[in-house]
Structure 1
Amino acid sequence: MYIASPERYDNMKYNRTGRSGLLLPAISLGLWHNFGGNDLFENGRAMVRRAFDLGITHFDLANNYGPPPGSAEENFGRILRQDFSAYRDEMIISSKAGYYMWPGPYGEWGSKKNLVSSLDQSLKRLGLDYVDIFYHHRPDPNTPLEETMAALDLIVRQGKALYVGISNYRPVEAREAAQILRRLGTPCLIHQPNYSMLSRWIEDGLQDVLAEEGIGTIAFSPLQKGILTDRYLNGIAPDSRAAGPSVFLSEQEITEEVIGKVRKLNDIAAARGQKMSQLALSWVLRGGKVTSALIGASKVSQIEDAVASLNAPELSAEELEQIETILRG
């Protein structure tokens, strides 16, 4: 029987999400990979337990996470029933809809039909009455934004989600979505974009929009699919994700130019007493613009390393300049 650590809140840092009352842990755990039906259930269960013991209260899912699609929610629902029924009110659980999930015209994108149906399915898989955050996963170029945002507002009013957010929205779309939601009376809580040392598009306008609109930011892929770790410093190992048939990371993404930069960044990390992955997380969370870094993990030690990154000193102006020089080179 799982009993949570009594010290679980002693060391985690919690950040306010935009202008809301909600605090999120600086490190959140995403279940995009390694928690599906093709993965070892007990390994996923061990990771969720350890994450919670370390103060990670936020667990991020989507309808299509797996593989196969839906299986990550099913497995997480099983973990909730087995281990966390006594701790539900200490947890922030999120899901999303917008990418392809089932055949026919209603199985993806951003219609009210898709979003409401998808969340109903997710709640059944999770065994929950509500999720804490529900996201529209990607903009829909063919559905009026007013319809998509009205669906999110409806979901909150139905009691199926406490908060709503958006993901992968560009600056103009994000501002318009936020303004529509505000008029409806359901503010946009948070935006989930990809952000890392190697993917910095949100710095070109989106961060300004989110600050002005009072919206939090949770950055996914802060380790750039594992490239910003020590995993590929000496080439692509035969047992690595990039060497296999993964659609998540391809060998073509790991160029000598990219790895050359990562090796130099790793030298900075070593001088700080950090691993490369920890430096990447410290960098994403620098300056307080990002509410939470959303990590993926395949083993418990990776979660422990991520949380330990919060103990490192703030990056100095000199270190930040060194990093910029490497990234621009």
Structure 2
Amino acid sequence: MTALDRYVRLESDGLWRPAPDQQRRQVTISFGDATLVIADGAARPLAHWSLPAVIRLNPDERPAIYAPDQEASEALEIADEIMIDAIEEVRKSLAKSRPQPGKLRHWITAGIVAATLALAVFWLPGALMRQTLAVVPNAKRVEIGAIILAHVQTKTGAVCRDTTAQAAAGTLATRVFGAGTPLNIVVVPKLDQGALAMPGGLIILDAGLLQAADDPVAVAGFVLASHVALGNHDSLEPVLRQAGLATTFGLLTTGDIPRDVLQRHTEAVLDQPAPQADPADLRRAFAAANLPQRPYQVLADARSGTMPDLGRDTLDGQPSPPVMTDSAWISLQNICNR
């Protein structure tokens, strides 16, 4: 039951002024359908006031004086305490049930703000990342890779250089990724991760891995796994994800990325295990490169104590093109000893 329902039969006397320039007259007051009914002594309605619009002209005073609107075009004086309390309760009850424009605006504004924040948090970073990666030229990527490699060498030792061995590294890249590959393999004295793919088309290889391998196919597997570990992502993407939105925006607008950002990224990469390739993706990559899985698995097991489970090797026992000549392999194995 609503407040209006409780007072539907309540009546009282009052003094009603139809207009500011007219005399007051005795009337009977009762409740209608969300209205205050003003009637004469014969119960003939003289006026209907909308209860939600009724205004009290003298709050907290008795007798109470009401008006139907802000202009106070009419006035009604009521002395009956019960009727006054009833009118106040009904007005408050009806006011609560009305739509609140201010609250509606508040919720609309809050919704817009929330949507904007969601857009900024969930959509903008991804869109900005995609746009930046799409426009960074290859020359800039090579420059970023060179800066990262310089930071890597402070931890791993200088890149090992030998003309014959570097040619063998090029042969390895071609055998794994195909002729014309932009990827460049460099060897450092000590890299705990074995092999890491870096921006600028760099794959950094551990000299110890070369020494531990009995077959260049095993090393080719590590090179392949480091690249596949990127998934379908750009090799520059991990750098920007760690650096954040401001750095990504800076690279997009100025074409530059702070060296200290690249240094922090390098340190973070070298302080954690190598990213792991998805086994199914890696298995398909081995098949596409026409490389058997087993030599890679054996070498990975020897280094970490865990043999990667790549499922059935479709090339097991099948002939495959050699990775490189024996002389090239010996040169590559000894690249850091020259």
TM-score (norm 1): 0.21
TM-score (norm 2): 0.20
Q: Which has the higher contact order (CA 8 A, sep 6+)?
A: 1
Q: Which has the larger radius of gyration?
A: 2
